[in-house]
Amino acid sequence: MSAEGKAIRPAATGYIGQPVPRPNARRLLEGRGRYTDDMVLNRMLHVAFVRSPYAHARILAIDTEAARAVPGVAAVVTGRDIAEICQPWVGVLGHFPGLKSAPQYPLAVERSCWQGEPVVAIAAETRAIAEDACEKVLVEWEELPAVVDMQTALAPETPVIHEELGDNLAFGLELKAGSPEDAFAKTAVVVEETFSFGRHTGVTLEPRSLIADFEPGERRLTVHHATQTPYQMQDVYARHFGLDEEKVRVVAPDVGGSFGLKLHVYGEEMATCALSILLGRPVKFVADRLESFLTDIHARDHQVRARMAVSAEGEILAMDVEDVTGIGPYSVYPRTSAVEGNQAIRLMGGPYRMPNYHGVLKVVFQNKTPTCQYRAVGHPIACGVTEGLVDMAARRLNLDPLEIRRRNVVTAEMYPHTSPTGYFFERLSHEECIAKIEAMMNYSSLREEQARLREQGIYRGIGFATFIEITNPGPAFYGVGGARVSSQDGCVMKLEPSGRVRCSVSVTEQGQGTETVMAQIAATHLGVKLDSVTVLTGDTQATPYGGATWASRGAGIGGMTVLRAAQALRGKLLELAGIILQRGPETLDLREGVIVEADTGMARMDLAELGRIAYFRPDTLPPDFHPDLTVARHYVPQGLPFAFTNGIQASHLELDPETGLVRLLDHWVVEDCGTILNPLLVDEQVRGGVVQGLGAALFEECLYNEAGQMINGSLADYLLPMASEMPDIHVDHVSTPTQFTPLGAKGVGEAGTAGAAAAVMNAVNDALAPFQVSLAQMPFTPERILRALGKIPSS
């Protein structure tokens, strides 16, 4: 990477291989900050950022003199300062051929490419002082043309954001199976629509935050970080700051929600670590809500032109899809911004036995906040398009929407089944889920009630959405492309002298109940009481290496490693007990934390006594026996690249044609995640996911003006679903355990989000059916509904 910021072609990993220079901190900060001898004091500093007010602008000059003079300011650094100690990153993966992106730095160098991109970092004794100093920084800008509309991003007259890349196409993909052209030429019915999905973001309860603490003597960096993936971030910090990996510790305590937002590399977080390295002091960053809206990754910015060929009997014959998605000015590192579009285009038509498919994906750069993986990556796009077309076909053929789905889903005798896009399904349960939801919601009675109310001028709608969900991803997900993102998880389990069990596992706690589920699995398969198991997560210094929390993998992969560790430790405990009791271990059992006779259940010894002998009186054991009460096990999925789950959702709502307001009445979900380990946690994961899907359907959208300025970046303007607006969410299950693991568990964290918005869309259009209008642009706001009804002029 040259000082002028010229783009380079990265290796498949996206990492730059040159060693990172280690400049003298005093030299670097003299004339740029307030380097004084009292910096040896280890008082924590707080960082604030000067951000770009433009969507696209050249940085002509930065005057930091007044900011450096503010009392309490420790350092003022620019992009060029931090570039001296931090290598840039490039978000590409080798298994996405042609994917490209420009190098990105913690702070903008030469140009800013979206409104809110950090440009200057100021470390001070308090956040307030740092923010006051930010006000004194003078940046001379040259505003550049902004690429805002993703539909015109590839037009010849549109400026190229990164000229060295040649165009604004980050990634393209075309898939074809069967003979879709013939199917469309010969079919009885063709339905088509352009679907628009509103860009939105996660709005986690706890914003992004970290404390970086660098110890210069040993060049050791400790980062307390609200992240989903501590080992991924350990690797990133080590590589990009030129540190030894074993001297980088990342601690991720209980995190207040993540939803995929906290998987990615953010400039502010890298800059915070850089400041700690430069100053040798702890530095803290907590994003405020405005910063979160401007810099947390966004998602779901898609416009999809799609059509479906259907026979006169209602058989789905083919789909033809073109998906254009805007990802901001960079592909996000290290997982890239191509994954959402890739999954959307491959999940199209997934629940159905459709033989012919053609899909085109265009991932384009734009001058907006970067987008990347967010809960149910790509699933709501694929589900919305597919299920929207299925309902359109049902109306054209005068078929019940549940019946057309029943005629087309892949049924039990067809498994194992491979979709036209190449996804392999071991065994799903679509037909069972359809039967269960029909009974659960008393469907026929709802239709009768709907007809009666329409005669009274009350318009209710019922919408369905079948869905599939990718869970338990293996190495084919990221590792095959060169990303240093682990697909395996690890567990270290040991018996303490007290008889308690300590379980250290690489899966992290984000509020989804990881610690509870891991303790359950350990207690069940070891044979101890649940309250005797202590689970430790989220610390690269104290837990084994692993992938942690993403893509609904915690129970299916992390749970399996805990199961294997529990089985191994159980064997060692019974072996030791057999030696002490002079019995064969096969004659003993471990139940509720007590060694018992396997045949009679008679108690012989509790684990506290076993621990006492092993740790403090090993002299009473045979001289050639060395008690080993600690085990380590790892697990990586084998046999399948993913474990797919499935289900169906239904929405019941009432629409007021005079105001355009939608009132959600009830929502139903039937879901199949295989073996259910904790019913309460599973149900609440589904409900939480549904609420996020309802937000996308009716409320949430990041709005931009023509200059690329976000115009609703606050909780006063960005609408989130509130408790008073949510319906009762009824959850039930079908259980089809995967046969590839003894645990049988698949993931569940994204199932609710995958299908909720599509169900609402179909319910809205069902309510609008008497008016002969429909909508395909989310969110379905009152303004859009009234415009469709002709009650307000089109914009």
Query: Which sequence spans correspond to the domains of the chain?
Result: 25-33+488-635, 36-144+203-295, 377-472+640-788
Fold of the 377-472+640-788 domain: Aldehyde Oxidoreductase; domain 4 (3.30.365)
Given a cut of 90, is residue 474 above it in pLDDT?
no
The mean pLDDT of 439-463, rounded to a whole number, is 98
Closest CA to 301 of 690, 691, 701: 701
C-alpha 571/C-alpha 577 separation (Å) is 10
Amino acid 634: pLDDT = 97
User: How large is the average pLDDT for residues 162-178?
Assistant: 98
Q: If 0-12 CB within 10 Å is exposed, 13-18 middle and 19+ buried, where does residue 286 land?
A: middle
- Vertex 61 angle, CA 55 and 66, to 5°: 110
pLDDT mean over 33-38 = 45
Q: Are 736 and 416 in contact (CB under 8 A)?
A: no
Answer whether residue 332 shows pLDDT above 50.
yes
Handedness of CA 386, 390, 393, 395 (dihedral sign): negative
Please report the pLDDT score of residue 5 as a whole number.
Answer: 34
pLDDT score recorded for residue 516: 97
Q: How many CB atoms lie within 10 A of CB 705?
A: 11
pLDDT score at 795: 66
pLDDT confidence of residue 41:
59
Please give the Cα distance from 300 to 195 (Å, whole number): 12
Task: Say which CATH class 36-144+203-295 falls into.
Answer: alpha beta
The CATH number of the domain covering residues in 25-33+488-635: 3.30.365.10
Asked if residue 652 lies in contact with residue 763, where contact means CB atoms within 8 angstroms, the answer is yes
With bands split at pLDDT 50, 70 and 90, how would you rate the model's confidence at 28? Answer: low
Contact by Cβ (8 Å): 362, 154: yes
Residue with tokens 């405005």: 290
Q: Could you report the per-residue pLDDT of 506-521, keeping only the tens digit for each?
A: 999 999 999 999 999 9
Dihedral angle of Cα 721, 722, 723, 727, to the nearest 10 degrees? -40
Mean pLDDT, residues 38-57 taken together: 87
Inform me whether the pLDDT recorded for 569 exceeds 80.
yes
Cβ atoms of 419 and 383 closer than 8 Å: no
Could you tell me which residues come within 8 angstroms of residue 167 by beta carbon, excluding any fewer than 6 positions away? 154, 160
Quick one: pLDDT band at residue 406, thresholds 50, 70, 90? very high
Distance CA 108, CA 119 (A): 5
Per-residue pLDDT reduced to its tens digit, 600-648: 999 999 999 999 999 999 999 999 999 999 999 999 988 788 899 999 9
**Residue 550 CB coordination number (10 Å):** 25
**H-state helical runs in 242-288:** 267-279
CB atoms within 10 A of CB 3: 9
pLDDT value at position 23?
Answer: 46
Whether the domain at 25-33+488-635 and the domain at 377-472+640-788 fall into the same CATH topology: yes
* Higher pLDDT among residues 4 and 531, named by residue: 531
According to DSSP, the residues that pair with 503 across neighbouring strands are 493, 535
Q: What percentage of the chain reaches a pLDDT higher than 90?
A: 92
Q: Are strands 283-286 and 45-51 parallel, antiparallel or unpaired?
A: parallel
Sorting pLDDT into bands at 50, 70 and 90, what band is 453?
Answer: very high
Burial (0-12, 13-18, 19+ Cβ within 10 Å), 97: exposed
**What residues form DSSP beta bridges with 364?**
169, 326
Which two three-digit tokens encode residue 584? 């064969």
Chain mean pLDDT for the chain? 94
Q: What band does 559 get if pLDDT is binned at 50, 70 and 90?
A: very high
| Residue 101: per-residue pLDDT | 98
For the cut 50, the answer to whether the pLDDT of residue 257 exceeds it is yes
pLDDT beyond 50 at 282: yes
Are the C-beta atoms of residues 667 and 678 closer than 8 Å to each other? no
Digit-coded pLDDT (tens) for 173-221: 999 999 999 999 999 999 999 999 999 999 999 999 999 999 999 999 9
pLDDT at 794: 78
pLDDT score recorded for residue 641: 85
Cα 507 off chain centre by: 14
Q: Could you tell me how many helices (H) and strands (E) the chain has, helices first? A: 19, 30
Dump pLDDT digits (tens) for 411-446: 999 999 999 999 999 999 999 999 999 999 999 999
Q: What's the predicted TM-score (pTM) here?
A: 0.94
**Neighbour tally for 242: CB within 10 Å:** 17
pLDDT at 15 over 80: no
- Segment 756-762 mean pLDDT: 98
